[in-house]
């Protein structure tokens, strides 16, 4: 399929170019990713052309800003990254658009930076790498907390989506992974951590107050669509004080989108189609952590209707991001 739009496509600035080392142990792989994540206009564009990808919506690599303990430094690096991304996108506005990196350690600063990036640079929303550390490494700020609700008000007012991208669990939360380090990050821990964060947002009542919010999850929804019936059912049976006014299935289908990033399999696609419908799924590759040719070949060969392929590959993104 020609004209695809991809939207979990990563870049880095020098200050964040080695951040992926926290979840990669192979030195050759580390060097490979560093080279690719710093490139926007070379091999990336060639691969996009070969794969029929018309546009990438680019985002900063992980954990980047979310792992910076000092609030001022987090804000400074986020602004620097966003300035660089805006400059690079301006060179090829026909091929690249941007997601803002945000210093979520301070919700007021995060809101100001998102407003700046949307209004001055035309960025299409924000991509944030999971919870944020602050002051000490073994700390976490999740965005259902009360101090973030004014931030969410600004997101809704701007009418742009928020991509909740994974990061691994805190060191203090790794007991269940003990002796099995291979499970901690992309293999399993990313989805468990990010899916739990998304469920916290659903259960907090956030979408009752801000019903127009749109959250994007990669990797076909970080395990949520396949389990949403049971999740929603068990909370209905035993809510245990959950403040959400509607079912979790309602929020999934009305406030969330999922992408194909890094999960090139028919099974999770079918689960997302059955639970959410084709209007809530979009194409992504997760480059350079995954292969653009592999993602495109898989997607283009899927036995789905051409109407569904067009929506997932292109028109859903055009509508959501007002392209």
Looking at residue 24, what is its pLDDT?
A: 84
Mean pLDDT score of the chain: 97
Residue 4: which of 50, 68, 41 has the closest Cα? Answer: 50
Residue found under tokens 């794969």: 51
Number of domains in the chain: 1
Domain containing 36 equals 4-321
Looking at residue 25, what is its pLDDT?
A: 82
Is the model's pLDDT at 171 over the cut of 90?
Answer: no
Q: Which of 23-27, 88-92, 289-293 has the lowest mean pLDDT?
A: 23-27
- Cα atoms found within 13 Å of the Cα of residue 249, Cβ hemisphere only: 16
Looking at residue 22, what is its pLDDT?
A: 84
Residue spans of alpha helices (H) in 52-143? 71-91, 107-121
pLDDT band at 23 (very low <50, low <70, confident <90, very high): confident
Q: Which of 19, 75, 106, 286 is catalytic?
A: 286
What percentage of the chain carries pLDDT values higher than 70? 100
Is residue 286 annotated as a catalytic residue, yes or no?
yes
Is the model's pLDDT at 128 over the cut of 90?
Answer: yes
Is the model's pLDDT at 255 over the cut of 90?
Answer: yes
Find the CATH number of the domain harbouring 164. Answer: 3.20.20.140
Structure tokens at 265: 């399999």
Distance CA 65, CA 33 (A): 18
How many other C-beta atoms lie within 10 A of the C-beta of residue 63?
A: 23
The model's pTM is 0.98
Q: Once rounded to an integer, what is the mean pLDDT over residues 298-304?
A: 98
């Amino acid at each position: 399929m020609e004209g695809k739009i991809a939207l979990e496509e990563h870049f880095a600035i020098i200050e964040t170019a080695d951040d992926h080392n926290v979840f990669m142990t192979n030195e050759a792989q580390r060097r490979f990713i560093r080279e690719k994540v710093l490139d926007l206009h070379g091999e990336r564009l060639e691969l996009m052309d070969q794969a029929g990808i018309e546009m990438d919506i680019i985002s900063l690599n992980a954990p980047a800003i979310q792992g910076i303990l000092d609030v001022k430094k987090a804000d400074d690096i986020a602004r620097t990254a966003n300035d660089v991304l805006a400059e690079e996108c301006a060179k090829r506005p026909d091929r690249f658009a941007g997601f803002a990196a945000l210093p979520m350690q301070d919700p007021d600063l995060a809101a100001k930076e998102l407003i700046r990036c949307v209004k001055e640079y035309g960025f299409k929303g924000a991509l944030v790498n999971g919870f944020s550390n602050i002051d000490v490494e073994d700390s976490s700020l999740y965005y259902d907390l009360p101090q973030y609700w004014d931030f969410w008000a600004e997101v809704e007012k701007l009418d742009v989506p928020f991509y909740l991208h994974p990061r691994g669990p805190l060191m203090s939360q790794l007991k269940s992974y003990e002796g099995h380090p291979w499970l901690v990050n992309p293999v399993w821990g990313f989805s468990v951590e990010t899916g739990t964060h998304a469920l916290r947002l659903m259960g907090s009542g956030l979408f009752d107050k801000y019903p127009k919010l749109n959250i994007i999850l990669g990797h076909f929804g970080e395990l949520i669509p396949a389990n949403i019936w049971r999740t929603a059912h068990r909370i209905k049976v035993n809510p245990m004080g959950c403040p959400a006014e509607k079912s979790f299935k309602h929020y999934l289908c009305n406030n969330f989108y999922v992408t194909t990033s890094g999960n090139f399999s028919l099974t999770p696609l079918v689960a997302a189609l059955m639970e959410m419908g084709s209007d809530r799924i979009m194409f992504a590759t997760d480059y350079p952590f995954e292969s653009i040719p592999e993602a495109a070949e898989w997607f283009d060969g899927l036995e789905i209707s051409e109407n569904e392929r067009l929506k997932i590959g292109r028109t859903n993104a055009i509508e959501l991001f007002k392209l």
